[in-house]
Structure formats: C-alpha cells, structure tokens
Structure 1
C-alpha cells in the first residue's frame, strides 16, 4: 500500500487506506474508524435461523432494501460463512460506511451507518487550473451520496489533467470534512509541482537527417530560453503520439518506405522536473520511382488519356502524396467520361537492387455501393451545409473511399473543429453505406489587442475582431483599427467561401487610411470599397475578379515660403505635388482580375515550391483612363539539405494613364519591396526644389534573393541567420514639368539600385523578430539609405 500522506508519487491517496486512517482524513471532527464486528461464534459448523431481521441506523435506505442485500430470508437456516457473505455484500453495495451483523436468538440485528451526502466540493492548492475547469473533470456531485471510490477516481482524473499540461509531479489527495446531519465536505488537496520540461530530444539510428532537422518536424520542442512562455516544451503523451505520426510522414514523403520507429523512451530526471526523450528509429534506404504505367481491367477502356493525366515521373523520389494526387486525377477523369464505380489501384513493385519502386495504376471496376446518407453530429454552431459542402459526394452517388477521406481532411482543414471523425458503415442494405461525421466544435473568433514596432513607422497599436465561422455559416469576418506614428487606418473584410453553394468565394472589403508619409512633406488620404469573386480554374490555379471604388486626396504639401522661413532657400515641395494637391478629392472606378498559381498541392518535390501571380486593373478617374498591371514570381528551394532554404522573387508593375496624369497615391514606390533604403528613399525626384520628395514612378521592377540557414545554436532557441541581396528600380512619370519656368529638372529615368546584407531571424513567444543589416551597393546621390531594420509584431 502507498502511504496517502506521500505527495511525491503523483498518485492519489487510495480510499482503502482512508478507511484505515479515517480519523486523519477528517480535519475538523473525530470520526470513528471503519471497523466491523461480527458477533458470531467461530464454530464453523454452527447454524442460525432467524424469524426476524431488525435493521438499525438506516435513514435513506429502507429496511427491505438492506435485508435484500444480505440474501437471508426469514426462517432460513444459515451458516456462519453465509453471515460473513451477507456482511461482505452489504459493504460492497457502496451504500454504507460501516456494517455490524449481530445474531440475537431468532433475531438478526443489522446495524449500518450510511455514507454521508456531499455538501460542498472544493479544491485547494490549484493555481494553473481554475476551479471551474476542475469542476468539469470530477464526477462527484453535491447533494449526492459520497462514494470513496468515485472520489479516488476524481482525484486520479485531476492528476491526469495536470499530467496533460506537463506537470508529472502533481499529486492530488481527497479529504473529507465531517458536517452535521450526516454530510461531508469533499476537498481535493492539490500539489501542482513543476512543469516537466522536455530537456532534450534526441534520435538514435538517423544517418541521412540530423537531430536538428528531425526536431523541426516535431510539434514538441526542447525547453529553451523562454521555457516559461513556450507551451510546446512540456511532456504531453497525445502530442508525442502525433509527433510519431508526423515523423513517419516526413520519412515516407522522402522515399524511406521502410522507416520504423523502434521505440520512444521518456526518461524522467530524479527531481521529476525534466524529461529526456529519445526516438530509436530505423531509416532504411531511400527509394525512387522506377517505371510508371497505367493498365485497365475494364474491357474496351482506352488508357491513353489516363496515361497523359499521370504526373508522376520516373526517377523522382517516391512519395505517397504524389500517388494520391495521381489517383484523384485519374478517378476524376473516369467520372468525367461517365464511368461509375471506377477504382484506381496503385500496385507497387519493389526492386531492392536499384532501390526503385515501379508504380502501376490499375483501373478496375469497384463494388456497386452507393452512399445512402451522410449523418452529421456534434455541430452545435456550424450549420450542416458548411460540412456537407466539403463532400464531393452526395446521397445516392457511388461510394468512393478516397473521396470520403479527402472530405474528412477538408473538414479538419476548416479549423472550426477540435476533432472531426468521418467513418463509413453499412447501410440498410449490403449495397449502401452511411457516412457518419462526428465533430467537436472549438472557438473560431478572436478579439485582439496588438502592438507592433518598426524602425520605419515606430510604435503602433491595433484593435481587431475576427471570426472564421461567422454565425456558423463558414463565413469569415474581420475588422481592424490600427494606428502608428504616421498612419491611421480602418479595415473591413468579409468572405463567403461558397457563394450560391458553389466553389466560389465572394468577398467584400473596405478600408480607410490617412498617412503622414515618411521622408516626405505631404499627406495622403485614401478609401476603398471593393466586392470580389474568386474560383479555381484547376487544381493549382485560381482566378479572382473584382470591382473597386476608391477615393484619394493629396494634402498638406509643403508650399515653401522663403519670406517666412529661416532658410531663404526653402522652395518647398515639387510643383508636381502642388498640382496634385490642387486636384482635391478624386474618385476612381476600376475592374480587375488576378490569376494565381501555386505548385504546393501538385509538387513532386516538397523541397521546391513556387508561386506565380498576375493581375490587372482597368479604371477611369475623371476624364482619364488607366491600366495597372502587376506580376510576382516566387520560388523557394531547400538545398543542399532541408536546413538551408533559398528564396528568389521577381516583382514588377506598370501603371499606364491616358487622358490624364497619375498621382502620387496611384504610383509605385519600393516601400517594403527593397531593403537597404528608407521608405520613399528611392525613385524619381524633383531636383529643382529644396524638398526633394520622392515622387514615385509608373514602372517598377525588383529582384530579391535570400538564403536562410541555421547558426549552430540549439534549435529550440528559434534563432537562424540569413543573407540577402536586392536589385531594382522605380521610374517614369507622366508629368515632368510644371515648374515656375516650365522646365523643372525632374529625374525620372531608369537608375538601377542594389543592396545586400545579412539577417537574423528570432522566433520568440512575443512574435517573429527579424533584424536586417544592409548596405546599398548601387544608388543615386539623392537616395536615402537605411542600414538597419527591425520588425516585430505581437498580439495578446
């Protein structure tokens, strides 16, 4: 037996011991120990016969019920052993604290003391988990009969709750306090103990991937500098189970088909304050794809079109995700051809000699099974239709297990549910199935108060509200209000992801922004209202269309009054800006589209990702018309190992006006697009005035190159390094005149700028920090450089 006074074992004080130490368990009253006396002569052969059963001490349980538990009838001859059995039956009923059976001639006297009722349930010593959360864990209830076994189970459940939060040393001891009228207060005394941190995560058997790389895959992290803030460095068994799965997926997606986790050991240190976790793994060999073929077991089916639809190529590293993508593509093609109950069976032939796997996609006729219905349970907020539209299958369609699995993944990816299980079971007949969807809702809204800091705009504050599942309809709604030293802005966004019940996202956005432009002596005021639609045109491409109404104004331009200035040479801002200020408030209307492509879902190489985006807006402002064109190409490659990533980006834009001139609020700048220069520190300038404000340009092009890599520090510190180089320019104005003599000297020609630097990335609990140390390599005399930049954003 474990001494219930001990608290270092993490186990609950058992009530079997509490019965023996009842006087200690009652902190305010003296309580008699649970002793039992049986006045029976020890002669084994003695027998009894009772004509009367007299029950004493019972208040809630009636006499007949007590007598029924003994199993002794009036006039029945019973032995001493039978009396002992009757005694045990009464105790095991859980209704009585103590029992005495006393034969008195022909009368059997049964004296019982009933368990008291629970008056109050309280918790002491808890700080990390509040009373309300603990109250939801325990099953003992007030005004119900006290049960020592249930109290012990409740204490174990509380200890388990603490264990799940990483406090392995936590102990919980239930105690009772006697009150009048046969009532007790049930008190759970909690010693929370320290968090058992993951002090070290190590791997045995890994040859091709370092410990550092594998630790990046896991959700559990080692304790680092911010161990009191980071919640992923504690031992949680459920998280460890998830980590094992993602570790398997990591190796399988890279061709290690024989990968196995041989064992997972968690060694607790002597003080139970830390855990040493060791994964013993077997990597096996990396396999590549050998031959790829398509065959058919359906008579008369032409497989040529199916072969063209296959994207898997010989020689690439084998990945189950690539196989699944091809299967989905082939089954979709079969459905478009009107072929039902078609299954694509991937048949893998292993060749250990050259470490290849031959893949044969066998097109077969599946069983004729239909979906009878889809049952959805557990969604208290989310409407059924939000979940149903994640299925490509509806009632009456042929049953396709792959489509059901994909629907389950889409339901989980919504982020609306803490848990989502999708299973199929036999329906009312053998050729029908019922798909059961069981979900558990989780909070999807947030009210945020934020703070940010940038060397460019200083300290800023933000208030925001966001709801990802507005009114349970799957809609997203966000409202933002933020301000910095130079900007005041309000934004509103609303998106309906399934407009008219189709895979079409309908959006509505609006914003208002007023800014004191950095490094410039003028202010701007802008507002916009824009509805939009977007929809997929292929597995990896999406098209968006939009309509935009916007308002813009330039004001506060420095006029330059030498007679009132301490500087007699102060000629103010450019006449170009003054002319734009004279235009006052102006409205513009435009129609636009965006085509975006990403290979993330179809990539055969998880270490190579790229994105393409092209957009155009066609608009009118007063009597002028314009076309605004922008494009972005981005590629990221992990080389020579997944710890080192190279990023290359190219971005460009052209603004073309006809029948009028562009404005500073329309033109491009390189703000946020090129490092090494101050905001508004690059671009066309009016060199004939003292205030050489950047005027922006109608054309820009920038190429950015970057590499990030580990610095050899412990991975849990979240610190990495990088190098970067940017090259680009912004140029071209519609209006280069307008000065006092009509011949202003405005430099709006193409002048290449470039900069290079180093970066330090620090992933902290208050947000990701990035330190950029840069120096321009190529610049104009009037450009303004920026050698250091720090950005951080946090929300609380």
Structure 2
C-alpha cells in the first residue's frame, strides 16, 4: 500500500510539474504575442516614392513614432494610403525600431482628351468622368469612366455609342488618356404599347406618361429618349392616374423595353391589370387622441360618399386634418386611412384613424445632389425646420412642392435615425435639370397688324436662386414690343412672389398717328390658401402720340383730344383676388380658375378712374376615356371716372381676343370714321369642347375644339356733345354679338399655338369681322 501510494504521489507530482511547464510556455507565448501586437517604433521610413513626398505618406498613416500600435493600426494605415489614389501597392513592415512603408506609385494623368464626340461637348463629358488632369491613373477608374460616358450617351438617345481608351506613356511617370468615341446613330422609341387596358385606350394612356414615341419633331422635344429611371417614373404616373379614377386595385404587371433587331429602336410595353372601379362608401373619422375635435376633422374630408374613389382625395384629406391637428397643438398626430372594400357594390369604406404618433424631432435637413440650385431654395419649401416635430405628411407636401418647381429631374426625401432615439435626419436628394428656355411665338391677325412674332429668353431658376427672369422682343410690320420681367418667389424670406415688369410698345397701325407706350410695374402676390391668392401691383406708364398727318378724314373729337394731350401719364394701383384649382395649366381637364381685379388710377399722373374686372373658367372632363374636355367661361368689367370724363383710350376695348370671328377692337361704340371709341361696360361668355384629333398620334400634341362665343361692349363716359348727327356715334347701347367656330390647337415645340376659325352669327352693321385668327393657345 505504501509503495502504491508513493507511485501515485509521484504521478501526481509529475502531472503538476507538467501543467506548470505548459502554463509557463503559454504565458511566454501570450507575452510574446502581446509584445508583437503592441509595438513602438522611433523612425518611419518611406521607400519607393518618386513623386509623392515622404511627409505626405507619413501624414496619411495612423502610426506615430514613440506611440504604441498594433495590427489594426497597420491595416488602417494601408487603407488610408490606398484611399488617396496615389498608390497601386502599399506594404508596411517593422524592422527593429524602424517602421518601413514601401509604396508603388500610380501613374499621374497629364491630360484627358475626348475624340469623336460631337453631340456631347468636352465640358459635358468632363463632368461625368473621374479621370482628371494631374490626378492618379487607375485602370478601375478608367473602366468606370467608359461606362459613365456610355450612360451619358444613353440619356440623349444614343445607346449604341462605343467608347475605347488609349493611354500614351510620358516621362516621369505621366500618361495621357484619350477616350475615343463612336457616337453611333440616335436610338428612337419605335412604339409604346399597353396590354390589358380596357377602360382607357392606348392614346389616352400615352398622354399620361412622359416618355413619348418618336415622330418628325422629336429632335426638338427630346421626349423620345429611353431612360430606365424615366420608365419607373412613368409607372408611378400610371398608378396615380388609375388610383385617382376609382381603380384602387390597379397594378402594373410588367414594363419592358426591348430593342427591335431590325431597326435597333426601342419598343416599350406596359402590361396592366386595371381591376374594378370603386366609389367611396361610408366615410368615418376615429380618434384615440383626447382633445381632437372629431367633428371639425370630419368637415375637412375631401372624399365624399358616392363619388368615384380617388387616392388624391384621400391624400388631401390627410393633409388637411394633419395641419388642423398641428394647429390644435397635436403635431405628432398620425392620421392613417383604413379602407374596407365591398366587392358586391364596388365601394370602399374609408375610416381615418387619428392616433398619437411617435414623438420625433428633426435633427437636421441634409440637401444632396444639387449642383446648381442653392440649398436655401430647397429648404424654404419645407414648412419644417431643424428642431421641429417630425410630420411625414408635411414632408410629403414639401416633396410635392419641390417637384412642382420644375427645377429638378428627380426629388427623393428619406429619413435616417439621428443621434438620439427621438431624432431623425431628413435627406433630400435632388437632381438639377435645365431650366432655361428659348421660345419663338407667332400669330396672325387679318384685321390689322398681319403676322406677329416674339422671341423670348426665360430662366426659371436664375443663378440657382429660384428666381424667374424673362426677356422678350416681338412685333409685326407695324408694332414693336420689348419686355423685361423678374420675379423673386420668396420676397424677404416669406412666401411672397414679388417682381417687376418694364417694357416699351410702339404701334403705327392706326391711321394718322403712332403710339409709343413705356411702362413699369411693381407687383407682389401672396398665397392665402393652396388655391387662393391675392395680388397687389403699381403701374406707371407714359403714352406718347405722334401725329403724322395722314388722316383720310379728320379724327373725331375724343380721339383728337387724346392725341393733343400727349404725353399722357397713368399712375395706378390694382388689387386682385385669384382662385385656381386647375390640374394642368398647359391642358386643364378639371378645375376652376377665376379672378376679380379692381384698379384705381389717380395716384398722380393724368388718368383719373376706377375699374373692376372679373373672369372665370370652369373645366370638366366630359369623357375620360376619349379625353373630351368641356369649358365654360364668363367675364365682365366696368370703368368709371373719379374726376372729369374718361379719356377715349382709357375705356374698355374687346374683339377677337374675347369673341372670335371679330377683329381686335371689332365690337362696341364707333365714330363716323369707323374708329373704335371703347365702352364702359362689357360682358362675355364662352362654351367650348376640346378633343384629340382622330387619325393623328397623340404624341403630336394636336387637338381640335368647337366653340361658341358671346360678348357685348357698351356705354361711354366721353364728352359726346359734338355728336349731332345719327351716324356720328354708333353702338352706345347694349347689343349682344355671338359667333361659333372650330379651333386647331397644337402644343408645338415652339410654344402652344391656336388656329381659330370663327363665324359671326349675331353682329351689328358697324362691327368689323375676322374669320381666321392665329395666336397662343391659352384662353383662361
């Protein structure tokens, strides 16, 4: 037993000794590793550099002499040196107390040139490539630049462009880089097809999207360029179109862009599932927030039971209720619509749920991507600022306003968590687009003046400040017009559109005298609501008359008196109230635009009168599928002196601009020479139906219209004591005129044009008629 115990004791002692030995070795290994990973050097030596200064290398590493470092510092230093783009290889080793940094320098680009490019200028290509003169040469960068150049040509419809590179070596590690470009032919959009659509024909849907089929004017409009991002935007436009017309289940199954092997052009196909059309059912408001006035919220709802379902109406309701809740002291109220479909009667019940949303504040708003537009131009469209309560509805409204400016190709607003749990960061990503415009307008009047033309230069985002500037020159054989207009949309930091107009007009079309008018206007427009605004303006003008003695008959006393009073000055202030809910200014389909304006002339100057005018136009789609649009318009005005009698040229004049089928100044009181004397009172009305022309592609932008006009101009505040014979003055009493006709309307690349053919069906013997008139298309 003792021998066994001794053996066992010996074994235990041997095991303990072995464990102690292993532990000693492990400790030594660990100590050695720690020493290797946490080292200190006294010198940093740079090798392999020829052009880059050694201190530049040392300044881009995290290791310093006399301070400990480990492997993570070496990795970080290597990454920082590679990130400079100056080196193709970097190695860092330690030799005793010296840290050796060995580098292989990249070649330096001496010059970047582009060969074969005509459609895109050098400066445009320089903006898309990363390779720059005196920058590092890197094959990865060059490969990226080749693709970037091809993408630039894609955006102008030249998807077949080929790009190759040529590198020429120079002394001292420098190279010249040449991009050799074969621009190829222009790739067109051969056809745009829709599959699965039953409610709306292809032509109507083509008007919804911004991508257009190629035609003989596409080289001017550039709307027939295939762009994947543009196609995604078109998908969204189609969704909004259907969602706002009752098709709540609408979906796009696919959208494809294929190249026709025979022509090399694009064929775009949208495959749709329209679904059923719904109406609004029961509309309710349910709130879990104490203090919210539910009845007031219900009155703000835009959607109405029985009306065709519209996602836009739901959005407008949410915006109105969110703003009201914030005004009542609940900025975090979250309003969510909940829809319940009734498939049997095809209705959607909507309940607006008002809950207390998560409390979050805006830490900062970060603007990205704007290369031209100033940050403050973007920030001022937000009704939110840093430190305010975050409200997703107000953020979406700001996004819509930014898109409506027309300054950007794309606007995207996203959020990211801030530095605290209740903080968010708003990222506003935009892409600037061209906002300058060169336009040529033309018109023709058979009643005087003949052909007219106007050349205009305008800039909607002047110097990236969001300001509007326009310079226009126009005229005809007998007239000359010069205009300069400027508008600051946020005057003094408020949402006030302030600006000025100055101009000079000359007219020698009248028999016996020439007229020169020089004027200046100061104006400011202030929004009251989204659809209602008010405008205040001051105008000072000087009218000069030059009698050339060529009267066939002596002018009547009112005209001669006005000519003798040359020059005539007018100092007037005007106030207007404007209501506008139309959906599209270029082609309104729904909505009302109305205004009433009163003017007082008498703040100095020679003129002394007060006038009031008003007009209103109502647009309504008569057939959504066939895109037939109806319009009703009315107008009227009255002017009265505040001193002596009115001057003849201060009275109202109307004609072909108001009632087609008549000359300018074609109706109303006249003297024995047939010269218009104007009137103190006028009324007018129009009914019109517009429609797309059959057999013509919608992409041409040509529409037709049938119209009926009526108008009257009567009354006079002139001194007519000289009129002793029955034929001296005619048309003082009220008499209605009427006309019917047809129009051809063209949204041309040179601006909107309209060709009117009017036929008077009710007129006076002394009226002056005109069947054909040619001018701009806007009539509201």
- Classify the TM-score, shorter chain: 0.7 to 0.9
Within 5 Å, give how 1:562-573 maps onto structure 2: 570-573=552-555
Q: TM-score, length-normalised on structure 1?
A: 0.77
Question: Could you list the per-position Cα deviations for residues 530-560 of structure 1 after superposition, in whole angstroms to 9, with x for gaps in the alignment?
Answer: 3333322333211222333333345538685
Matched-pair contact (CA < 8 Å) for 2:249–2:274:
yes
2: CA distance between counterparts of 1:363 and 1:145?
A: 58
Report if the CA contact (8 A) 1:169-1:272 is conserved.
no
> Secondary structure of the residue that 1:328 maps to in structure 2?
helix
Distance in 1 (alpha carbons) for counterparts of 2:50 and 2:361 = 57
Residue equivalent to 1:630: 613
Structure 1 window deviating more from structure 2 (354-363 vs 708-717): it is 708-717
State the partner residue of 1:537.
528
Q: Deviations over 1:414-463 (max 9, x none)?
A: 334454443332222112223233445555556x5746342353455556
Matched, 1:733 2:716: yes
- SS class of match (1:436): strand
Report what 1:675 is aligned to: 660
Counterpart in the other structure of 2:33: none
Do structure 1's residue 578 and structure 2's residue 570 form an aligned pair?
no
**SS of the residue aligned with 2:660?**
coil
Indicate yes or no: 2:418 matched with 1:427.
yes
Report the TM-score, using the length of structure 2 for normalisation. Answer: 0.78
Contact map agreement 2:583 2:589 (CA 8 A) in 1:
no
Aligned to 2:81: none
The reply on whether 1:324 has 2:315 as its aligned counterpart is yes
SS in 2 for 1:333: helix
Give the CA deviation at 1:214. 0.3
1:540 and 1:598 in contact (8 A); partners too: yes
Give the drift of 1:254.
1.1
* SS of structure 2 residue aligned to 1:478: strand
Structure 2 match to 1:616:
598
Relative to structure 1, the CA distance from residue 288 to residue 614 in structure 2 (aligned partners, 3 Å threshold; closer, same or farther) is same
Matched, 1:783 2:764: no
Local SS of the residue matching 1:489: strand
The one of 492, 504, 507 equivalent to 1:512 is: 504
Q: For residue 297 of structure 2, give the secondary structure of its aligned residue in structure 1.
A: helix
CA–CA distance in 2 between the matches of 1:760 and 1:607?
17
Q: What are the equivalent positions in structure 2 for 1:356-395 lying under 5 Å apart?
A: 356-377=347-368, 382-395=373-386
Using a 3 Å threshold, how does the CA distance of structure 1 residues 433 and 572 change in structure 2: closer, same or farther? same
Residue 439 (structure 2) pairs with residue 454 (structure 1): no
Deviation for aligned residue 1:329: 1.4
Distance of aligned partners of 1:127 and 1:622 in 2 relative to their CA distance in 1, 3 Å threshold: closer
CA RMSD of aligned residues (A): 3.4
Structure 1 position 138, deviation (Å): 3.5
Alpha-carbon distance change, 584 to 530 in structure 1, aligned in 2, over 3 angstroms = same
Helix, strand or coil for the counterpart of 1:700? strand
Correspondence for 2:491: 499
**Deviation per residue, 1:102-128 (Å, 9 max, x gap):** xxxxxxxxxxx9998766544333322
In the alignment, structure 1 residue 156 sits paired with structure 2 residue 147: yes
Q: CA deviation at 1:253?
A: 1.3
Match of 1:591 among 573, 584, 605: 573
2:19 is aligned to: none
Determine the structure 1 residue equivalent to 2:192: 201
- Distance in 2, matches of 1:431 and 1:165, equals 45
Q: 1:575 touches 1:738 (CA, 8 Å); kept in 2?
A: no
**Using a 3 Å threshold, how does the CA distance of structure 1 residues 116 and 314 change in structure 2: closer, same or farther?**
closer
Q: CA deviation at 1:470?
A: 4.6
Are 2:168 and 2:175, in contact at CA under 8 Å, matched by a contact in 1?
yes
Quote the Cα distance in structure 2 between the aligned partners of 1:272 and 1:460.
Answer: 42
Offset at residue 600 of structure 1 (A): 3.7
Deviation of 1:736 after TM superposition, in Å, equals 5.8
Residue in 2 that maps onto 1:9: none
Rounded to whole Å, the distance in 2 between the matches of 1:647 and 1:260 is: 32
- Provide the rounded CA distance (Å) in 1 between the counterparts of 2:738 and 2:268: 47
Aligned to 2:475: 483
1:288 matched to 2:279: yes
Specify the SS of the correspondent of 1:649: strand
Change (3 A) 1:540 1:554: same
d(CA) in 2 for partners of 1:183, 1:477: 47
Q: Equivalent residue for 2:676?
A: 694
* Equivalent position SS for 1:399: coil
Q: Please state whether the residue corresponding to 2:220 is helix, strand or coil.
A: coil
Q: 1:722 maps to which residue?
A: 705
Unaligned runs of 5+ in 1: 1-57, 63-92, 97-112, 561-569
State the 1:250 CA deviation: 1.0
Q: Confirm or deny: 8 A CA contact 2:130 2:145 kept in the other structure.
A: yes
Matched residue, 2:61: none
- Pairing 1:266–2:254 present: no
Q: Is the 8 A contact 1:615 1:631 kept in 2?
A: yes
2:188–2:225 CA contact under 8 A, matched in 1: yes
With over 3 angstroms needed to count, the CA separation of the structure-2 counterparts of 1:785 and 1:396, relative to structure 1, is same
CA–CA separation in structure 2 for the residues paired with 1:515 and 1:368: 65
Match of 1:774 among 755, 758, 762: 758
* Worse-superposed segment, 143-152 or 277-286: 143-152
Q: Does 1:310 align with 2:294?
A: no
When structure 1 is superposed on structure 2, of 285-294 and 634-643 the one drifting more is 634-643
Equivalent residue number for residue 166 of structure 1: 157
Q: Which is further off, 221-230 or 669-678?
A: 221-230
Q: Is 1:646–2:630 an aligned residue pair?
A: yes
- Contact map agreement 2:582 2:589 (CA 8 A) in 1: no
1:758 aligned residue:
742
Show the counterpart of 1:75. Answer: none
* Matched ranges for 1:706-717 at <5 A: 706-712=688-694, 713-717=696-700
Q: Aligned pair in 2 of structure 1 residues 726, 308: CA closer, same or farther (>3 Å)?
A: same
Q: 2:397, 2:339 → 1: CA distance? A: 22
Q: Are 1:754 and 1:777, in contact at CA under 8 Å, matched by a contact in 2?
A: yes
Kindly state the Cα deviation for residue 318 of structure 1 after the two structures are TM-superposed.
1.4
Contact 1:346–1:362 (8 Å) recurs in 2? yes
Rounded to whole Å, the distance in 2 between the matches of 1:226 and 1:331 is 46
Distance change in 2, residues 1:502/1:784 (3 Å): same
Among 221, 233, 237, the alignment partner of 2:212 is 221
Question: In the alignment, what sits opposite 2:227?
Answer: 236
Quote how far apart the aligned CAs of 1:327 are.
Answer: 1.4
Alpha-carbon shift at residue 639 of structure 1 (Å):
0.9
CA contact under 8 A between 1:539 and 1:601: conserved in structure 2? no
Shift in Å, 1:162: 2.0
Match status 1:335 vs 2:340: no
C-alpha contact 1:392 1:403 (8 A) present in aligned 2: yes
Deviation at 1:396, TM superposition (A): 2.9
Write the distance in 1 (CA, Å) between the matches of 2:630 and 2:733.
32
Deviates more, 1:303-312 or 1:466-475: 466-475
Partner secondary structure for residue 576 of structure 1: helix
Distance 1:461 1:636 in 2: 29
Counterpart of 1:703 (choices 682, 685, 690) is 685
SS in 2 for 1:229: helix
Query: Retained in 1: the 8 A contact 2:558–2:648?
Result: no
Farther off after superposition, 259-268 or 289-298 = 259-268
1:215 deviates by 0.5
Change (3 A) 1:349 1:586: same
8 Å contact 1:624–1:660 — kept in the other structure?
Answer: no
Distance 1:512 1:130, change over 3 A: closer
